[in-house]
Structure 1
């Protein structure tokens, strides 16, 4: 390639927005039109693309407009879900797992502080989550496979879809905010007009005994009056891994604990003079076996997503409980 063609190719591959080209050095649009999905990191032949498609999402749905560290003047496009994996040291490298990146309400990468080995000094590191393609190859200390991994000691930040980020910036008013367990569910919900943010696990709403500041900002700026925490349809099922001397109700009690903690965290808003009603809801089981909100919207309600968003269906699949005191 010529220099400008190579520059344009690399910029698109790594999601960098270039400054407008000088009029005397135009780049032919034909080069852009012929660019393959592989060159843009959007190949449908990856686990990431297949996983998104299974929830009725595309790379465009999970593209965020963000700033990079040290550059608050230029806006970049970045896919919050992208192919990749991590090596034994926790570094992001090429691979066919899924890297999920987090950005705050201002479009800045979410970071955490990590202690440098042998130095005792803390340095900021960019937060991410990896979704393993083959969970059985990644097991915890008890030998159980797990799907997701975050850097050790990185905390539990909330995931904010781009649609929520734009609503916050424009101060769009909406009455109810949903908290989903999982990034895909929040993205799918937002795609169909259901304002949502995500937590990485049912016990991961609060950080160090306090609500995430970005969650408080959304509630206050957008006039939220109700907050609903949504569980999957199997929330009340017994565990498939019950061992000898393990209480049979361990799993339901875990969800009860998450609901109780949600209530206690949301009570903290009173200290700021913010009053909201809170709800616990779950997806109803159906013949299609839809487990989460993304499954429900992609399968049972495919083509009728607005029925859920507008609450026009008589038998709404979300079952909010009575308002918690």
Structure 2
């Protein structure tokens, strides 16, 4: 049997004499004219490696014909400038199945450097194919001739393996340091079966797992776990040792000297062409250290020592190994943060961890989020524990402040985040009161509230100084646009920041209320909420002094304190909200349009700039009105004609007809002191007026709207019929009847009657 060393040297000499550019006297220069154009990436790479067309050819068994052999170049070029690497194995050209039946050649692609952008990898493996071992022609020939290869090198990359074999060093290439294995029938991992066959057939005694010179390189990045890279190299060496334990050979781990500029063995052979025999000889001596390599027998080496070599056994070892890179920087190792303080290595945690809290069993993060105007707003979002540990270290959660639960305690002066082990979800304001001009703020309030300016100032002062105080519902209305309503609403939001929210009509009528139920200020623009049920819910919340239920999608309901104040802005005068008779919770104001000479496109920005001065004014101002009720103000303070008009506009058709009928009766018979009628009488009188009127609707309206009840027993009464009077006014007389009648006294009616607005005239078409 030919010895491996002599065989490879003779084969390398044969290549040299015929094709090698290393010996100028034997290279057929005339047969390889230099192209006039710039060489392609493929040409540059093969020229650099001294791979000639003859060396690049391989004849192997066809995978399409059991009796044929085919010749192909191992390295070729596609139209995109990429290098195609055709694989051959111990049984011939390699193939894989594309889908269930279509068999194709196994060709790996080395992308052109210009295409390796935006995270694109350098190499592409055929889609649907697994990883394979690259066997250069000399290794395949040695296998088929059963030539002894005492030492076999396994390294990452086809070019490295090919170049090593060109210089008499038996070498195979893998597609990654972790791709030396394949799955065994039991679901475990085993060394690639073809590689095992080569090792046995060629009687390999020494296996060298060769890495590049950067396997001990760490690039500093504060956000990345620096232990991951050396751990990957360690695990690759460990796994290779495990996969080869059943083979009768010694296993060595080697890498190029980190102090040298050449990264891989192909670079080393190219840059040190005149020293190639010496380089190969140094590697095969298996000495621990030499000018070109570090090499060590790891067949029986303990994993602890192997970890220590890569510096990953502990943080101190890691810092010592890579001290030149780390110096006094904060770095992350195995999920934890460390920093050398000049005396010792200390474990620490990022300052950003202070933005996290644990409430009960859940984690939350407070951070600044830009709005559409790129102004920052504080938000509070739920986070997973694994996300926090991934970003800040395995023990980061140990540095997070813990609370028993949530609380909602509004305050703008003596703010406390933690109250009795509970996390206060109310946000502190970023504004600091400071003396200055607030002229624009005052002018806006004068424009919006007119002669009710003191009420407006007290309202703003109570919002700021006593945020838990119940306050009237503000309704700002106008038929015209650009009156300042929306400007006022946004100004309130700018003042109270994340404690305020702007809603649409649908948000108040939906099933979930988590968007607003814990806010101090709820601003609703373009209000149109005519449904009585919605208005009733708003009224109920506006005077709530206890708890309300928070309804959030996909989250269990829970209770919280209600601190909300509603501000509605609308162009639907009189019809935006249902406001019933006797309502005292609404402060309704009609806002006039701005005079043209006072319109200012920069008003919103000016108001923002005045916030510190305006808050300073509110902080030092005395309240104008004393507290009189649950909503602080006496109703007369904010009562307006607009409220009466809004109430009148919400009178139902049935109630309107009843009131008109009663008034018409008293106007028709001035001497009449008492008007009596039954529900049937009234139904007969009004049945032609509206399709909504029937006896049931009349009884309901008399009871609920007018608060009238019939006599408990049947009684005799005089019925005055407007229908009968309209037919024979000159010969009319009341009819005496018996029944449970409603009795309306003129004096009481005149005192409590509501002015009924006339219905709109009918259109002429």
Normalising to structure 2: TM-score of the pair? 0.32
Q: CA shift at 1:44, angstroms?
A: 8.5
Measured after TM superposition, the shift of residue 290 of structure 1 is 0.6
Tell me which residue corresponds to 1:278: 251
In the TM superposition, residue 59 of structure 1 has moved relative to its aligned partner by 3.0
CA-CA distance at 1:264 after TM superposition:
1.3
- In structure 2, which of residues 234, 239, 263 is the aligned counterpart of residue 256 of structure 1? 234
- Give the secondary structure class of the aligned counterpart of 1:57: coil
Contact 2:63/2:94 (<8 A) preserved? no
The answer for the alignment partner of 1:132 in structure 2 is 111
In the TM superposition, residue 305 of structure 1 has moved relative to its aligned partner by 1.0
1:213 has 2:193 as partner: yes
Superposed CA deviations along residues 207-229 of structure 1, whole A, max 9, x for unmatched, are 12222221111111111011011
1:62/1:187 contact within 8 Å kept? no
Q: Do the aligned residues in 1 keep the contact of 2:63 with 2:95 (CA within 8 Å)?
A: no
Shift of 1:105: 1.3
Contact kept? 2:156, 2:211, Cα under 8 Å:
yes
Residue 291, structure 1, aligned to residue 276, structure 2: no
What is the aligned partner in structure 1 of residue 751 from structure 2? Answer: none
Shift of the 310–227 alpha-carbon distance from structure 1 to 2, 3 Å rule, reads same
Of 51, 76, 83, the residue aligned with 1:98 is 83
Matched, 1:151 2:163: no
SS at 2:274 equivalent: coil
Aligned-partner Cα distance in 2 for 1:322–1:220: 20
Conserved 8 A contact 2:209-2:254: yes
Give the aligned length. 260
Partner of 1:175: 150
Structure 1 unmatched runs, 5+: 1-35, 85-93, 116-120
Cα RMSD after superposing both structures: 2.6
Q: CA deviation at 1:72?
A: 4.0
Name stretches of at least 5 consecutive residues in structure 2 with no aligned partner. Answer: 1-30, 184-188, 301-765
1:54 to 48, 60, 68: 48
Query: Which string of whole-angstrom CA distances, capped at 9 and with x for unpartnered residues, describes residues 7-51 of structure 1?
Result: xxxxxxxxxxxxxxxxxxxxxxxxxxxxx879xxxx983321211
> Would you say 1:308 and 2:286 are equivalent positions?
no
Superposition deviation, residue 310 in structure 1: 2.9
Cα distance change on mapping 1:45 and 1:148 into 2, 3 Å: same
- Counterpart for residue 646 of structure 2: none
Deviation at residue 316 of structure 1 after TM alignment: 5.0
After superposition, residues 66-77 of structure 1 pair within 5 angstroms as: 66-77=60-71
Alignment correspondent of 1:113: 97
Which deviations, in whole Å up to 9, do the C-alpha atoms of 1:182-240 show, x marking residues without a partner? 00000010000100000011111101222222111111111101101100001111247
Does 2:207 match 1:227? yes
Confirm or deny: 8 A CA contact 1:102 1:109 kept in the other structure: yes
C-alpha contact 2:80 2:112 (8 A) present in aligned 1:
no
SS at match of 1:95: coil
Displacement of 1:58 in angstroms is 2.6
Paired with 2:291 and 2:202, the residues of 1 have a C-alpha distance of: 25
Aligned to 2:699: none
Question: Relative to structure 2, which stretch is displaced further, 166-175 or 184-193?
Answer: 166-175
Q: What secondary structure is seen at the aligned counterpart in 2 of 1:320? A: strand
Local SS of the residue matching 1:218: helix
In structure 2, C-alpha distance between the alignment counterparts of 1:44 and 1:71, rounded to whole Å: 39
Cα distance in structure 2, aligned partners of 1:223 and 1:162: 18
Bigger shift: 121-130 or 313-322?
313-322
Question: 1: distance between equivalents of 2:51 and 2:259?
Answer: 22
Aligned-partner SS, 2:60: strand
Distance 1:207 1:77, change over 3 A: same
8 Å Cα contact 1:129-1:150 kept in structure 2: yes
Kept in 2, the 8 Å contact 1:174–1:224? The answer is yes
Q: Which residue of structure 1 lines up, in the alignment, with residue 244 of structure 2?
A: 266
Cα distance per residue 1:301-325 (max 9 Å; x no partner) = x122111223388935232113322
How far, CA to CA, are the matches of 2:127 and 2:222 in structure 1? 27
Q: Which has the higher contact order (CA 8 A, sep 6+)?
A: 1
Distance 1:46 1:148 in 2: 18
Q: CA deviation at 1:138?
A: 4.2
Q: TM-score, normalised by structure 1?
A: 0.73
C-alpha distance 113-193 of structure 1, shift in aligned 2 (>3 A):
same
Structure with greater helix share of residues: 2
Give SS of 2:50's match.
Answer: coil
Residue equivalent to 2:730:
none
Structure 2 CA distance for aligned equivalents of residues 110 and 278 of structure 1: 28
Measured in 2, the distance between the counterparts of 1:243 and 1:179 equals 34
Match of 1:290, SS state, is coil
